[in-house]
Structure 1
Amino acid sequence: MKKIVMVFFNAACMISSLVGILHFFAPYSFKWYSYIPDAPIEIYHSINYINFCFSFLLAGVSLLFLIVQNKLFDGSRELKIFYAFFSLIWFSRIIIQLIWPWPSDLQLWLVVAFSMEFIFTLIPMIYFLINIETKKPLKR
């Protein structure tokens, strides 16, 4: 079971890091600025800053999870909590997509893609919840 969960974990982290890396190029690939041609330069810079931080964090956190996965699967409580937050981020992305639908034909594909990524993160999360070890306090 652990090997299957590790496959889902690695797939989730690799997909997330790929999304983060590809997102660095999204403003230019999809010509985001063409939708706001008369916006002040501060708006363009704000979009760049937000996108850079999002891309860097998503790629970085995903790659860090790949690096520390042995400690995570060995039972690090702190890493499990952090991974739960990582899973929550993908779940919230689905909710946001449903509340504020993307105004194009991409809506269905975005919901499917985010749902698949959430499932990839959820399976290891369930494994971590099932395998919670309770630590007894030390007696002095």
Structure 2
Amino acid sequence: MMRLVDRFTAEERKQLVLHSYQGLSHRWGLDRVHYPSSVRDEGLARWGQNYTHLSTSTHNWAEFNALDRGFQAAFISPVFSSISKTDYGQDAQLSCVDKRMNFSTTLIALGGICQENIHTLKSDFDDVGLCGAIWLAEDPFTAFEACYTLWYDHQ
């Protein structure tokens, strides 16, 4: 992992987010970490919140609403049936954003988001995460560019 991180400049490292090896982040000059929901409590207890940007994954409104204020951002998924994980179906409850009570954490929609449905999320979510729509696209750059334009150019 260190050999990979070493390939980035100090300026580029400011944008990297570690999803593992969080305990080594400061030594590597990284201030952004992500705690998956499965290790969130352990991560906070072990490495704390001493980061510029701390994110996590959530899978229901109760979990999102109960997040510690130290989390700047949280993904909530799946909002649609996953494109890349065939067994990861839409959770209709996630579209009920009226259950959101935590407004100190940026809410990022994840799961099944593509250029055909991204517009339906704009009024209720702070941001979106794209995976399968990019990875599995015939032309990943064009797919990303289309989603980016639909999300950011029409806000």
Q: TM class, shorter-chain normalised?
A: under 0.3
Instruction: Return the TM-score normalized by structure 2.
Output: 0.24
Structure having the larger proportion of residues in strand: 2
Structure showing greater Rg: 1
Structure having the larger proportion of residues in helix: 1
Instruction: Return the TM-score normalized by structure 1.
Output: 0.26
